[in-house]
Amino acid sequence: MDYKLEQSVKVLVADHLAETTLDVLNNLGYSHPMIVIDSFLLQSTPINDLLTAFKENKKQFTLYDKVIPNPPIELINKGAQIFTENHCDSIIAIGGGSVIDAARGINIVRHLGGSIADYAYDKEITAFCSGLIAIPTTSGTGSELSNALIVTDTEKNEKIAVLSNEAVSEVAILCPDLLVSLPEQLTISTGLDAFSHAAEAYTSTLSTPVVDAICEKIMFLIYKYLPLATQNGQNKEARERMMVAAALGGWVLNNGGTHIGHSQAHIIGAKLNIPHGQACAYALPGTLKATASVKPKKIKEIGYILEASFPENATNEQIGEITAARYRDFRDSILGLTPFETLNISREDITALSKEVQTERFSGNTPFELTDEIVLQLMKEFG
């Protein structure tokens, strides 16, 4: 059966990170985790409290703090080697999407061998890769519940995806204390990444009525709470709501997928060095406008979530224009995302990538035909 909604990750929302993590390890019978982490997080009080609790409870652990944004194949394969050499039995991933993606890749390779590239290009993941405990420190990628991981092939200078329901986290721990010091621009860009997950899954060819309902709630939560988290990073309620929205955004990726907005972000982001969340936010207005031609009712619903108003008997084109404009207002005026113009990227550099975007892995989920003309228009509107 081709079931359209699955969720096998055990999820905890907790304030006490150290206590909760130890309880999870003991409950699952793991005694020696590898901790895959952003190195700068080792200065964080909650993380130091966690490591201290491990030592006080005589819990062995191995640190792997070499993860960088857009983790390359080599970094993941090296992590799997270190895992084996240190006789680890589980992985705790603490960080943003790059860290959790890298940890998931390490977990696949340590279970099944080979290189993570094998599973991107031709090798199937045939059994559940247990032992991954994901602790996100941003509210955006949803990697803690997603079945997709993105790694970088440095030889080809491209991002490649590994997709498998057998490679999801075993447990996700959502701790809002980890987000209170998240910088403003990172709060904005990661939150808008989650919004793009929901907007694209909502309008994807893979979407279903159940996925639609979850996507609507995700977009509502982000529209309501992302401005509050941006204005006051110490707002624990806003941080918690954003963590939940982002996690759900990762979940709907497994069931609804993304489409041409993320195709643009993956290709343009990798080639021109734009952070993923920003790239998704720059791609979404054009995506909304184009999608209105085939899914006007859903684009109008997104507009309503963004508090847009529509004239009676609005045409599909008007619906797309109004919703895209309202999203831009949310992105630029209410939140204040870094303006695209400040990146000093030429329009020619973007349009030159049209063919790669057109054939990117997730573009096949797009609900309208990706003609050369339409893709070129999307690339002109990117920003």
Evaluate whether residue 271 is within a structural domain. yes
Q: How far apart are CA 40 and CA 18, in angstroms?
A: 18
Which DSSP letter does residue 10 get?
A: E
Domain extent for 189? 184-381
The arithmetic mean of pLDDT across residues 312-319, rounded, is 97
For the beta sheet containing 62-64, the strands, ordered from the edge strand earlier in sequence to the opposite edge, are 10-13, 171-174, 132-136, 90-95, 33-37, 62-64
Q: Does the predicted TM-score (pTM) go above 0.85? A: yes
**Residue scoring higher pLDDT (6 or 109):** 109
Q: pLDDT at residue 187 above 90? A: yes
The arithmetic mean of pLDDT across residues 277-289, rounded, is 97
Q: What local confidence, expressed as pLDDT, does residue 138 receive?
A: 92
Residues 49 and 70 in one domain: yes
Residues 369 and 266 in one domain: yes
Residues 195 and 110 in one domain: no
Evaluate whether residue 1 is within a structural domain. no
Evaluate whether residue 4 is within a structural domain. no
Convert the pLDDT of each residue in 29-60 to its tens digit. 999 999 999 888 999 999 999 999 999 999 99
Residues 95 and 225 in one domain: no
Convert the pLDDT of each residue in 255-274 to its tens digit. 899 999 999 999 999 899 99
Q: pLDDT at residue 340 above 80? A: yes
Check if the beta carbon of residue 153 is closer than 8 Å to that of residue 115: no
Residues 230 and 350 in one domain: yes
Evaluate whether residue 43 is within a structural domain. yes
Average pLDDT, the chain: 95
Residues 165 and 226 in one domain: no
Residues 19 and 156 in one domain: yes
Last residue within a domain, chosen from 134, 154, 178: 178
Residues 234 and 349 in one domain: yes
Q: What local confidence, expressed as pLDDT, does residue 381 receive?
A: 96
Evaluate whether residue 210 is within a structural domain. yes
Q: What angle do CA 19, 168, 259 make, to 5 degrees?
A: 125
Residues 368 and 296 in one domain: yes
Report the CATH number that the domain containing residue 43 is assigned in CATH: 3.40.50.1970
Evaluate whether residue 377 is within a structural domain. yes
Q: What local confidence, expressed as pLDDT, does residue 77 receive?
A: 96
Q: What local confidence, expressed as pLDDT, does residue 57 receive?
A: 94
Q: How far apart are CA 190 and CA 99, in angstroms?
A: 14
The arithmetic mean of pLDDT across residues 211-231, rounded, is 98
Evaluate whether residue 143 is within a structural domain. yes
Residues 259 and 339 in one domain: yes
Convert the pLDDT of each residue in 119-166 to its tens digit. 988 789 989 999 999 999 999 889 999 988 888 888 887 778 898 989
Q: What percentage of the chain carries pLDDT values higher than 90?
A: 86
Report the CATH number that the domain containing residue 280 is assigned in CATH: 1.20.1090.10
Residues 23 and 52 in one domain: yes
Evaluate whether residue 145 is within a structural domain. yes
The arithmetic mean of pLDDT across residues 103-111, rounded, is 97
Residues 17 and 164 in one domain: yes
CB proximity list for 71: less than 8 A, separation 6 or greater: 98, 101, 102, 105, 151, 152
